[in-house]
């Protein structure tokens, strides 16, 4: 993984454990998952992603997911993460608020969005959510 990707970024899981980003991503395919609980498409995709994550990591953990929420508040984001998401990590910001703070009102592609990054730091798929829905667990082989 690129030495600078996620370096020093604090991530948290649903149990409240904290980890540094570069440790989470080291040696694995990484997927940044942009979603929100208010989004109907995200709610439909969530169980698909949960099943995909379990299936591709059943023998060896090959994929790590980092959730980046777009919920209306930090409280909504935390509830969404703890109640509905898999056993992965979250970046503790509310993407919607961060975007608004810098004047960004829209994000290309919308949500849910799964951006897939190889262990060397190269982005290999900006449309990971669609590929998970279309190809199931075999989508991972395209990212390795």
In angstroms, the CA 31 to CA 123 distance is 9
In angstroms, the CA 120 to CA 78 distance is 30
- Every domain of the chain and the residues it spans: 10-143
Q: Which pLDDT does position 8 carry in this prediction? A: 82
In angstroms, the CA 81 to CA 97 distance is 17
- Quick one: angle between helices 128-135 and 40-56, nearest 10? 70
User: For the CA atoms of 81, 117, 61, 37, what is the dihedral angle to 10 degrees?
Assistant: 20
Mean pLDDT: which of 63-77, 103-117, 130-144 is highest? 130-144
Q: Is the pLDDT of residue 38 over 70?
A: yes
Q: Is the pLDDT of residue 97 over 70?
A: no
Does CATH place domain 10-143 in 3.40.50.1950? no
**pTM (two decimals):** 0.84
């Amino acid at each position: 993984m690129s030495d600078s990707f996620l370096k020093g970024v604090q991530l948290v899981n649903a149990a409240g454990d904290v980890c540094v980003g570069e440790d989470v991503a080291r040696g694995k395919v990484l997927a940044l998952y942009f979603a929100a609980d208010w989004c109907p498409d995200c709610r439909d995709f969530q169980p698909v992603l949960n099943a995909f994550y379990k299936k591709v990591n059943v023998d060896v953990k090959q994929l790590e997911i980092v959730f980046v929420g777009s919920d209306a508040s930090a409280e909504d984001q935390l509830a969404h993460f703890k109640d509905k998401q898999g056993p992965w990590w979250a970046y503790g910001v509310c993407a919607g608020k961060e975007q608004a703070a810098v004047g960004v009102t829209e994000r290309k592609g919308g949500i849910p969005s799964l951006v897939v990054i190889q262990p060397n730091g190269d982005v290999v798929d900006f449309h990971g959510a669609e590929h998970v829905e279309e190809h199931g667990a075999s989508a991972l082989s395209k990212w390795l």
